[in-house]
Amino acid sequence: MGIFDFTAGFLLLLPTKILAMIVITGAAGFIGSVVAGYFNRKGIDELILVDDFSRSEKKQNFLTKSYHSLIDRDAFVDWLDANNAKVDFVIHLGARTDTTEFDYSIFERLNISYSRAIFTACTRYDIPLIYASSAATYGLGEFGYSDDHKIVNRLQPLNPYGRSKNEFDKWALEQPQTPPFWAGLKFFNVYGPNEYHKGRMASVIFHAFNQIKEKGEVKLFRSHHPEFEDGMQLRDFVYVKDVAEVIDFLMREKPGSGLYNLGTGKARAFYDLAVATFKAFGLEPRISFIDTPVDIRDKYQYFTEAKMSKLIDAGFNKSFMNLEEGVKDYVANYLISGKTY
CA 100 from chain center: how many Å? 16
> What is the DSSP track for 122-143?
HHHHT--EEEEEEGGGGTT-TT
pLDDT of 100 above 70: no
CATH class of this structure's domain 3-188+237-264+307-320 = alpha beta
Query: For the chain, give me the number of helices (H) and strands (E)?
Result: 12, 15
Choosing from 59, 86, 170, 198, which is the catalytic residue? 198
Band of the pLDDT at 1, cuts 50, 70, 90?
very low
Average pLDDT over residues 30-38: 98
Give the C-alpha separation, 191 to 82, whole Å.
35
Q: Of 92-101, 111-120, 240-249, which gets the smallest average pLDDT?
A: 92-101
Predicted pLDDT at 272: 97
SS3 call for 9: coil
Predicted pLDDT at 18: 41
For all residues of the chain together, what is the average pLDDT?
A: 92
Average pLDDT over residues 155-178: 96
Predicted pLDDT at 201: 87
Give the C-alpha separation, 195 to 321, whole Å.
18
Asked if 161 is an active-site residue, the reply is yes
Average pLDDT over residues 152-177: 96
Is 103 buried (19+), middle (13-18) or exposed (0-12) by CB count in 10 A?
exposed
| Prediction pTM value | 0.91
**β-pair partners for 69:** 48
Give the C-alpha separation, 128 to 180, whole Å.
6
Predicted pLDDT at 301: 87
Asked if 59 is an active-site residue, the reply is no
Predicted pLDDT at 12: 42
Choosing from 161, 239, 271, 330, which is the catalytic residue? 161
Give the C-alpha separation, 196 to 333, whole Å.
14
CA separation, residue 335 to residues 22, 162, 275 (Å): 29, 29, 16
